[in-house]
């Protein structure tokens, strides 16, 4: 499949000149017929290319359901009518299924009220939604490639922003330059050129970032645009973002000063500088359409964009603290001496471990028209052991 997409990308470069990294990613990931996300209902799990919190088991969705149920009650108390539950980047609908499974037993009012919309660009994934939801399919109001125009309730995006097409930039002695993708014979290569938009420099200026020559990083204008669009569509309620990422002061310095552009294939991870196929190009340029490509999220710019659109920042914590605040260790079933309880404990360990998903993922919760409530997902604080 990558050969057909490779030919299309090479032809576009020949006709229009080198592509920005964002334009290359748009084709490699989201081409409607040949793109990585378009061709299969699911890319994660043991048979896929990478794991997400959803692949660990139903525990993540069950804990998220507790947070969403609290948001449902706060939404109603603030005068909200009805309750939209919108998942953006929903894949085949498994996270929504896990949330509704938990809601059915532990939060029946949420299950009864939820007006579910699954937003997913892949036609194959959208086609799988009714079967994945199973007995909850009557909760499904819409399966669509775009956010609804109006949402009163909660919008959830789990590992969406890191996969949006990003620009790559580098600082030189002559100033900021953008990284482009060019064709050189039968391979794709990087070339530096002038920034494709003044928005790239404005983005870094707003953060107060002044990189030194040799620095490289990503500027994800699409992620900021997505958050702005979601904020405008949210009439009252909450926006919950879960993703790989860091505050700008960490993302654009120190150990990330070479950038975070990464590709996943069959659970193997390659950084931007790797050359897996021996053709002279970095890994993320190899096999377009057959690899996931991501970059870490700049949560500072996401927060700034959300505030610009009238949202309140209600909490920003790592996934470990988020799930502990929701009672991840309070389930008595986990203490049983059974094989099922053991699997449950191992799944929670994977979700909570600071060196794994718990530490690499951040949870940002935003609100509109609901005041500034103290949310359960932000309630956990580390306690020092008694001496």
Residue 91 tokens read as: 């894949």
Q: What is the pLDDT of residues 240-296, one digit of tens each?
A: 999 989 999 999 987 888 899 988 654 344 554 444 344 456 778 988 988 889 999
What distance in Å separates the CA atoms of residue 265 and residue 27, rounded to the nearest whole number?
17
In which region does residue 212 sit, left (phi positive, over 0), alpha (psi from -120 to 50) or beta (all else)?
A: beta
Residue 163 tokens read as: 């996969």
Q: How far is CA 53 from the centre of its chain?
A: 11
Residue 117 has pLDDT above 70, yes or no: yes
Q: Which of 377, 372, 363, 369 is nearest to 161 (CA)?
A: 363
Task: Specify the pLDDT at position 224.
Answer: 98
Task: Specify the pLDDT at position 386.
Answer: 40
Summary count for the chain: helices (H), strands (E): 15, 16
Task: Specify the pLDDT at position 52.
Answer: 73
Whole-model pTM?
Answer: 0.89
What CA–CA distances, in Å, run from 76 to 72, 84, 96, 298, 311? 6, 12, 21, 32, 18
Q: What domains appear along the chain, each with residue ranges and CATH number?
A: 2-35+167-219+261-294 (no CATH), 53-161+297-377 (3.40.50.12710)
Q: What is the pLDDT of residues 306-329, one digit of tens each?
A: 999 999 999 999 999 999 999 988
Task: Specify the pLDDT at position 339.
Answer: 65
Q: What is the pLDDT of residues 173-201, one digit of tens each?
A: 999 999 999 999 889 999 999 999 999 99
Non-local (6+) Cβ contacts of 338 within 8 A are: none
What distance in Å separates the CA atoms of residue 273 and residue 190, rounded to the nearest whole number?
10
Q: What is the pLDDT of residues 80-107, one digit of tens each?
A: 999 999 999 999 999 999 999 999 999 9
Q: At what angle do helices 94-106 and 59-77 cross, to 10 degrees?
A: 70
Residue 267 tokens read as: 């659970």
Residue 211 tokens read as: 């990189």
């Amino acid at each position: 499949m990558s050969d057909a997409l490779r030919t299309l990308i090479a032809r576009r470069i020949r006709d229009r000149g080198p592509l920005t990294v964002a334009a290359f990613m748009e084709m490699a990931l989201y081409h409607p017929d040949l793109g990585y996300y378009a061709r299969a209902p699911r890319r994660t799990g043991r048979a896929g290319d990478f794991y997400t919190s959803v692949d660990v088991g139903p525990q993540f969705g069950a804990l998220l359901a507790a947070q969403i149920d609290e948001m449902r009650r706060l939404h109603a108390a603030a005068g909200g009518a009805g309750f939209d539950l919108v998942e953006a980047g929903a894949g085949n609908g498994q996270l929504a299924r896990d949330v509704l499974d938990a809601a059915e037993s532990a939060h029946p009012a949420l299950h009864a009220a939820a007006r579910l919309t699954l937003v997913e660009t892949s036609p194959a994934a959208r086609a799988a939604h009714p079967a994945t939801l199973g007995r909850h399919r009557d909760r499904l109001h819409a399966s669509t490639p775009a956010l609804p125009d109006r949402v009163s309730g909660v919008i959830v995006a789990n590992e969406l922003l890191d996969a949006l097409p990003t620009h790559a930039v580098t600082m030189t002695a002559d100033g900021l330059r953008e990284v482009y993708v060019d064709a050189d014979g039968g391979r794709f290569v990087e070339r530096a050129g002038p920034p494709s938009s003044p928005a790239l420099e404005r983005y870094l200026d707003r953060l107060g970032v002044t990189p030194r020559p040799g620095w490289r990083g990503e500027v994800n204008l699409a992620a900021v645009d997505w958050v702005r669009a979601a904020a405008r569509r949210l009439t009252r309620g909450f926006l919950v973002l879960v993703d790989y990422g860091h505050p700008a002061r960490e993302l654009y310095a120190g150990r990330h000063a070479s950038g975070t552009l990464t590709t996943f294939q069959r659970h193997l991870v390659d950084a931007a500088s790797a050359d897996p196929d021996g053709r002279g190009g970095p890994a993320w340029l190899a096999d377009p359409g057959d690899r996931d490509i991501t970059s870490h999220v700049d949560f500072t710019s996401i927060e700034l964009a959300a505030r610009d659109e009238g949202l309140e920042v209600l909490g920003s914590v790592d996934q470990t603290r988020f799930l502990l605040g929701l009672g991840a260790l309070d389930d008595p079933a986990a203490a049983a001496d059974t094989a099922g309880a053991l699997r449950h404990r191992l799944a929670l360990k994977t979700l909570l471990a600071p060196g794994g998903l718990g530490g690499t993922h951040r949870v940002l919760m935003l609100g509109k028209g609901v005041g500034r409530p103290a949310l359960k997902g932000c309630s956990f604080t580390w306690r020092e052991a008694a001496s």
